[in-house]
Amino acid sequence: MEPTERLFREMQEGRLIALLTPASPEECLTAYEVCRETGITLEVAFRSEHVTAGIELIRKTHPEALILAGTVMTAAQAEAAIAAGAAGIISADFIPEVVDVCVGHDIMCVPGGLSDAGKQLVRKADGYGCSLEELKEKYPWQWIYKLFPAFSGDSSAVHLSRAWRGPWKDLTVVYTGGISFDTLARVLEADPTGIFCASALLKDLDDRERTVSEISRWKEVVSGGPRSDAAAPVPTAVETDPGSRTGEGDGDGAGNRIVTFGELMMRLSPPAGERLRTAGEFAVHFGGAAANVGVSLARFGHQAAFVTLLPGNDSGENALRALREQGVDTSHIARKGSRLGIYFLEHGSGPRPSKVIYDRAGSAFSEVVPADFDWGKILEGVAWFHWTGISPALGENVTATLQAGLEAARAMGVKVSVDLNYRSRLWSTDEAGRVMTGLMPQVDLLIANEEDPAKVFGIEIEGTDVESGDLDVTGYEKAAHELRERFGFEQVAITLRESISASENYWSACLLDGDGFHLSRTYHIPIIDRVGAGDAFAAGLIHGILTGMEGPAALGFGVAASCLKHSIYGDFNLVDVAEVQRLAGGSTSGRVVR
């Protein structure tokens, strides 16, 4: 058995990792000998100049030693740690170059963070030239990820592991950041199989007897033995404001199973500032309204599954890869047909608007039929189902497939949301109004932009001129009430974009729920890429609702998530909960986060 495999088994058996930032090579040796005596693993952090010398000293004194090198940030550090004798590498983030070095040496790599669990597994599988299933079976020491930070102030992220294990079954999770004796039992309650890393295990390293006693206390808790003080239940939802409660829900929202349904397309864009009519090269992204929502929710820690139909060729495989990299469950995606829909995007700037050309006729998804999906199986145990008005615009067969899903969701008690997403190039306002009206009885949350209520349902907004960017909030409050009264929605949300130019907007939103009408703060945003911004809002709002936030907080989270999307190229909103919280909490300076 290779050292890295033996180290992985040692970690699974001992389940405690003592983190050391060494003051000397000799301190590394002392720490290792204490860890060996107590049956736990040592991680030596690359925050010290003594790391490689310390690992070498341990290996010289104890040739059989199995050591983790931690806080590895570069490929060079990974190479140095492996050369010194480290049997495993722990990284502060998902750093592809570090993963590649470890896979090249067949050394366990444990990237860390809150959102890249799936992405790093895909990278490892690609490095070995195997499937994800083969990675799990042949290289179990690589089927691992570090959740960091587990705790930050009053907030906890330990619930995320449950979401990761939806698509990534049996993933080994190492918890670190905020792990102490006081929080240990709380994390164990959330994940009885976890591995726990803490510097607190070695806080009294100068007193060997005291350190051994402290480690023994921790081991007793991990093994299920008694402890002298009771621990409070672990908070299972990350708070929007670390200083106060934002919602009165049951706290068990993050990690909910969510299904989204729609078409996934390939997007081709010339570089910013270049025109489609003269383009010589294109950037490739994948996206689609419902897929974008699913990606965001997966990154927020939910078990998000996307339901669609993709062609059984390389373009379909590439699309699947893009979803899997973001942690989206693709197990319910059907494969048939020969075409993936494409759209071309020309980025606007200043007075020149963005331009979109669709090439989706005859796509695989446009040929979907109800028999392609077993909605009863797909929606089993699901908390939320999301779709958009783009799907029924693609044809009666797509509408029938969606209707089957909506009827199953209603029968199974699944909450349903829709983003109207009216597209004039797909259908007329009359047809949209007729079809969408028939689908509304199955909807709990309606989401729309500033134009949709008028174009789809003929509800004109008083005092508003969308073309000039002049919006009257009182008109939208009235429209939200009218929508709710007409269709019986539990909630109505409307995004409010005030356009200054293609490069600069004001952005806000409003929400009508059982507690009244809420208006978010208004952000003044420069625009890198606005495609997918409405989907980012929808995902943020759904996340807020599912994690028990009150209306204003859920609305604020959605608007902040959407603001961040405007700064990111591509359809997917590649942000995590902490980044959204930071903006929602008032941090708009954009200063470097170190």
**How many other CB atoms are found less than 10 A from the CB of residue 311?**
19
Q: How far is CA 428 from CA 92, 324, 434, 591, in A?
A: 51, 35, 10, 45
Select from 591, 522, 512 the least CA-distant residue to 562. Answer: 522
Torsion (CA) 486, 419, 428, 370 in degrees, nearest 10: -100
* Identity of residue 3: P
Q: Is 419 a catalytic residue?
A: no
25 contact partners, CB below 8 Å, separation of at least 6: 50, 53, 54, 56, 57
Cα–Cα separations (whole angstroms), residue 311 to 29, 209, 263, 268:
57, 64, 12, 18
Distance from C-alpha of 81 to C-alpha of 83, rounded to nearest angstrom: 5
128 class by beta-carbon count within 10 Å (0-12 exposed, 13-18 middle, 19+ buried): middle
| Residues paired with 352 in a beta bridge | 349
Closest listed residue to residue 368, CA positions, set 403, 331, 329, 407:
403
Element holding 499 (H helix, E strand) = strand 491-501
Select which of 116, 372, 529, 535 is catalytic.
535
Short-list 169, 66, 446, 385, CA closest to 257: 385
Strands (E), 207-252: none
Q: Which residues are catalytic?
A: 535
